[in-house]
């Protein structure tokens, strides 16, 4: 990182001078604001008193802004005076762009990799976005921030120096501003590089600062653009390098465990976020002039109507990578700020698992196989919200049933994994292969097992029930909170209780929780308050111990790595069927299931997995419904056949 110019002495002020680096960044900024007359000493004293009370959650600068004693622009102006000598990380915390504990994690990571600049660590961990880092660095050095990821080039300007000079020195011209030229530098403190740039672009440079990675990537794009301009295609199809930008986002997503990419238009910028291990993380944001070209490019790739911007659309992309072709589902949704695009990367998730590998406890798996999958007919439903791993479990069940003597046919929207030996159909309304049409034909194909991707309405529920009544085994998914919720929802779809009780053999509910990183896990003994939040009487579960990740390089200082599935398997025995037939309430059906059918609930399975050190208290609270009191862990171990 660039070194900072020495602070110049300040005139007398109510605060100790000269700048005292033991003083907090907030106080140093406030000192400059007092010196420049933005703030009176009395106002600062007031803000400091308030700040003391909220120091755990607020910075002094944010208190000043909330009290309307200073604006963000004035605070940034104070940084630009060069009188607030402070490390970048602390400035980002003061500006409210970074959490203090994230800074601690980043500093810990830097101690292990002293060569890596702190800004790279912060951005790579998604603690802050690259634009905020560049803006803060530019403030500290009083330079122009340049977001090189998304900048456009002026080809005649690029040609004024050889591309090898840009590559070797980490700078590249951005644009003319009147008589002057804006040049972005990865390291504006390097005097030789500044001199070299002046030779090519004149003495009166506007010095810009950009993130090193972005500047080097921009130089790569500049090279391509120069080659393209030599090839001289007169028509500019690729406005502002949109092809390279979109491919860059896709490539970044495909090299990590990303399931979805969100392009979210805002008033001024397009935010790009990834869903990774089930959690949204910021990837980048780009100004709107680039956004329009990027969204246009995606629409071309997805085969959507480019001219249409006011209606929702969808499409598909077959994206070729070195590892093979990736199927991408694209949904385009018209919002007030423009089109929001979500890309679902279909083959980028976990590979097809066997039923033994999905993480079900031994007794639970036994019951599922014996009472549901091996039953000659009946409906098996996998329920849970989007992103709960339903599809993985559904496919594992299909995999289990798939053998030479069984005919399996599917109606999926869309096919997410291809499995040899079964007949899969992807719904495609554009060519009139609708869900309803497909389900009408599916039974006529003489199948043993029918896989209905999802029960989404009364019609698909009736198809599933009717197929089971005529002796088929039906596997399907359903969007409900828990297993009993699945039964109740069918009742609410006007399916007769006796039809449900005579066809549904099992309902599996599930969630995915993050797995505690095994490299930095430490013991977490639950407090009485935490036990109470799980639904325990503190005395009944005293000493219950989970695990918690403290953050290490292996988990990129997040404390979690990968995910674990948590299950609830309801098998409908006589007692449960009776409860259903007599239209008992969800609460009563749940009680009957737990007491008479050995149901282990989602929260109970989660507690057993957390007690084994697989996941954390926070994940259980965040992800699992807590509808009834959990039983003690020792009893759950016995019910699940888990050795403590």
Q: How far is the CB of 553 from Zn ion (least distance, A)?
A: 7
Stretch that binds Zn ion, among 204-212, 313-321, 523-531, 544-552 (CB under 5 A): 544-552
Which residue number, 418 or 554, has a Cβ lying nearer to Zn ion? 554
Q: How far is the CB of 642 from Zn ion (least distance, A)?
A: 25
Backbone dihedral angles phi then psi of residue 428, each to the nearest 5 degrees: -145, 90
Q: How far, in Å, CA of 161 to CA of 199, rounded?
A: 9
**Nearest residue to 183 via CA among 162, 212, 210, 156:** 210
Q: Which is nearer to Zn ion, 188 or 549 (CB)?
A: 549
What's the per-residue H, E or C state across 409-427?
Answer: EEEECCCCCCCCCCEEEEC
State which residue, 601 or 615, has the beta carbon closest to Zn ion: 615
* Span interacting with Zn ion, options 62-70, 200-208, 396-404, 550-558, rule CB under 5 A: 550-558
Whether 570 and 534 have beta carbons less than 8 Å apart is answered as no
Give the binding range for Zn ion (CB under 5 A) out of 54-62, 164-172, 442-450, 555-563. 555-563
The distance of closest approach from Cβ of residue 392 to Zn ion in the complex, given in angstroms and rounded to an integer, is 24
Residues 480-519 that bind Zn ion (CB under 5 A): 517, 519
What's the min distance (Å) between Cβ of 517 and Zn ion?
A: 3
DSSP letter for 356, please. Answer: G
Half-sphere exposure of 564 (CA within 13 A, CB side): 26
Residue closer to Zn ion by CB (options 124, 154) is 124
Q: Is 547 near Zn ion (CB under 5 A)?
A: no
Q: Kindly state the number of chain residues that form the binding site for Zn ion, as judged by CB under 5 A.
A: 6
Q: Is 332 in the site for Zn ion (CB under 5 A)?
A: no
User: Among 103-111, 409-417, 450-458, 549-557, which window interacts with Zn ion (CB under 5 A)?
Assistant: 549-557
Phi, psi of 114 (to 5 degrees): -60, -20
Q: Is 343 exposed, middle or buried (0-12, 13-18, 19+ CB in 10 A)?
A: buried
Nearest residue to Zn ion on Cβ basis: 517
Q: Reply yes or no: is the peptide bond before residue 414 cis, omega within 30 of 0.
A: yes
Q: Which stretch binds Zn ion (CB under 5 A): 31-39, 145-153, 547-555, 616-624?
A: 547-555
**DSSP letter assigned to residue 428:** B
Q: Which is nearer to Zn ion, 521 or 599 (CB)?
A: 521
CB of 439 or CB of 520, closer to Zn ion? 520
**Other CB atoms within 10 Å distance of the CB of residue 324:** 8
Sheet bearing 504-516, strands edge to edge: 423-426, 408-412, 449-455, 473-478, 378-383, 504-516, 560-571
Question: At how many degrees (to 10) do helices 458-469 and 435-442 cross?
Answer: 10
Whichever of 360 and 552 has its CB closer to Zn ion, that residue is 552
- Give the up-direction half-sphere exposure of residue 615: CA atoms within 13 A in the CB hemisphere: 26
Q: CB-wise, 290 or 561, nearer to Zn ion?
A: 561
Residue 95 to residue 247: CA distance in whole angstroms: 32
Considering the complex, state which of residue 24 and residue 550 has its C-beta at the smaller distance from Zn ion: 550
Among 91, 442, 555, 608, binds Zn ion (CB under 5 A): 555
Smallest separation (angstroms) from Zn ion to the CB of 516? 8
**C-beta closer to Zn ion: residue 517 or 572:** 517
CB of 104 to Zn ion, least distance (A): 14
- Look at the chain and count its residues: 644
Please name which of 639, 610, 612 lies closest in space to residue 623, comparing C-alpha atoms: 610
Q: Which is nearer to Zn ion, 153 or 560 (CB)?
A: 560
Residues in 514-543 at the binding interface with Zn ion, rule: CB under 5 A: 517, 519-520
Closest approach of Cβ 612 to Zn ion, in Å?
17
C-beta of 617: minimal distance to Zn ion in Å? 17
Interface with Zn ion by CB under 5 A: which range of 22-30, 37-45, 437-445, 552-560?
552-560
- How would you label 287-306 residue by residue, b for 16+ Cβ within 10 Å and e otherwise? eeebbbbbbbbbbbbbebee
Closest contact distance (angstroms) between CB of 520 and Zn ion is 3
Contact flag: residue 552 with Zn ion (CB under 5 A): yes
Least distance from C-beta 116 to Zn ion, angstroms? Answer: 17
The pairing of beta strand 171-177 with beta strand 180-185: antiparallel
For Zn ion, the closer CB: 105 or 330 = 105
Q: How far is the CB of 283 from Zn ion (least distance, A)?
A: 22
Sheet holding 338-345, edge to edge: 279-287, 269-276, 258-265, 338-345, 324-335, 313-321
CA angle (591, 593, 599) in 5-degree steps: 115
Q: How far is the CB of 519 from Zn ion (least distance, A)?
A: 4
| Contact set with Zn ion (CB under 5 A) | 517, 519-520, 552, 554-555
């Amino acid at each position: 990182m660039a070194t900072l110019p020495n602070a110049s002495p300040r005139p007398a002020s109510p605060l100790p001078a000269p700048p005292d680096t033991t003083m907090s960044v907030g106080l140093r900024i406030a000192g400059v604001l007092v010196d420049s007359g933005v703030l009176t000493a009395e106002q600062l004293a007031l803000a400091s008193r308030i700040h003391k009370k909220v120091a755990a959650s607020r910075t002094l600068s944010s208190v000043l802004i909330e009290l309307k004693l200073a604006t963000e622009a004035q605070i940034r102006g104070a940084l630009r005076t060069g009188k607030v000598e402070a490390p970048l990380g602390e400035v980002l915390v003061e500006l409210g762009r970074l959490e203090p504990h994230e800074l601690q994690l980043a500093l810990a990571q830097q101690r292990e990799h002293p060569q890596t600049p702190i800004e790279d660590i912060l951005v790579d961990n998604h603690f802050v976005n690259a634009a905020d880092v560049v803006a803060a660095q530019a403030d500290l050095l009083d330079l122009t921030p340049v977001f090189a990821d998304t900048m456009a080039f002026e080809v005649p300007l690029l040609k004024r120096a050889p591309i090898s000079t840009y590559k070797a020195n980490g700078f590249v011209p951005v644009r003319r501003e009147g008589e002057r030229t804006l040049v972005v530098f990865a390291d504006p403190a390097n005097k030789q590089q500044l001199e070299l740039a002046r030779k090519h672009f004149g003495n009166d440079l506007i010095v810009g600062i950009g993130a090193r990675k972005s500047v080097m990537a921009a130089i790569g794009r500049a090279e391509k653009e120069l080659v393209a301009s030599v090839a001289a295609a007169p028509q500019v199809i690729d406005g502002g390098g949109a092809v390279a930008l979109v491919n860059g986002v896709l490539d970044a997503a495909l090299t990590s465990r990303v399931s979805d990419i969100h392009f979210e238009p805002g008033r001024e910028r397009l935010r790009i976020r990834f869903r990774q291990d089930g959690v949204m993380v910021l990837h980048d944001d780009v100004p709107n002039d680039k956004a329009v070209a990027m969204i246009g490019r995606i629409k071309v790739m997805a085969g959507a109507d480019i001219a249409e911007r006011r209606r929702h659309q969808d499409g598909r992309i077959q994206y070729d990578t070195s590892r093979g072709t990736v199927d991408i589902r694209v949904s385009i949704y018209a919002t007030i700020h423009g089109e929001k695009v979500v890309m679902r990367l279909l083959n980028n998730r976990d590979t097809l698992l066997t039923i033994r590998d999905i993480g079900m406890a031994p007794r639970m798996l036994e019951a599922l196989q014996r009472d549901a999958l091996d039953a000659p007919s009946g409906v098996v439903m996998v329920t849970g919200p989007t992103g709960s791993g339903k599809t993985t479990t559904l496919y594992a069940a299909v995999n289990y049933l798939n053998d030479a003597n069984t005919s399996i046919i599917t109606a999926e929207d869309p096919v997410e994994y291809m499995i040899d030996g079964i007949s899969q159909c992807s719904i495609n309304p554009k060519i009139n292969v609708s869900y309803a049409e497909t389900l009408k034909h599916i039974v006529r194909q003489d199948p043993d097992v029918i896989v209905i991707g999802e029960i989404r309405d009364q019609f698909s529920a009736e198809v599933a029930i009717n197929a089971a009544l005529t002796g088929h085994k039906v596997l399907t998914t359903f969007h409900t909170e828990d297993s009993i919720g699945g039964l109740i929802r069918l009742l609410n779809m006007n399916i007769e209780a006796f039809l449900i009780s005579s066809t549904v053999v099992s309902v599996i509910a599930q969630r995915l929780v993050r797995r505690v990183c095994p490299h930095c896990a430490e013991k977490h003994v639950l407090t009485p308050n935490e036990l109470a939040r799980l639904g325990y009487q503190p005395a009944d579960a005293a000493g219950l111990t989970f695990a918690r990740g403290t953050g290490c390089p292996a988990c990129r200082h997040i404390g979690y790595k990968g995910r674990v599935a948590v299950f609830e398997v309801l098998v409908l025995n006589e007692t449960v069927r009776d409860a259903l037939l007599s239209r008992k309430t969800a609460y009563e059906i749940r009680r009957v299931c737990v007491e008479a059918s050995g149901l282990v609930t989602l929260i109970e399975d989660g507690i057993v997995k957390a007690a084994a050190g697989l996941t954390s208290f926070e994940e259980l609270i965040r992800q699992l419904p807590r509808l009834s009191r959990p039983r003690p862990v020792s009893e759950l171990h016995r019910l699940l056949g888990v050795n403590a």
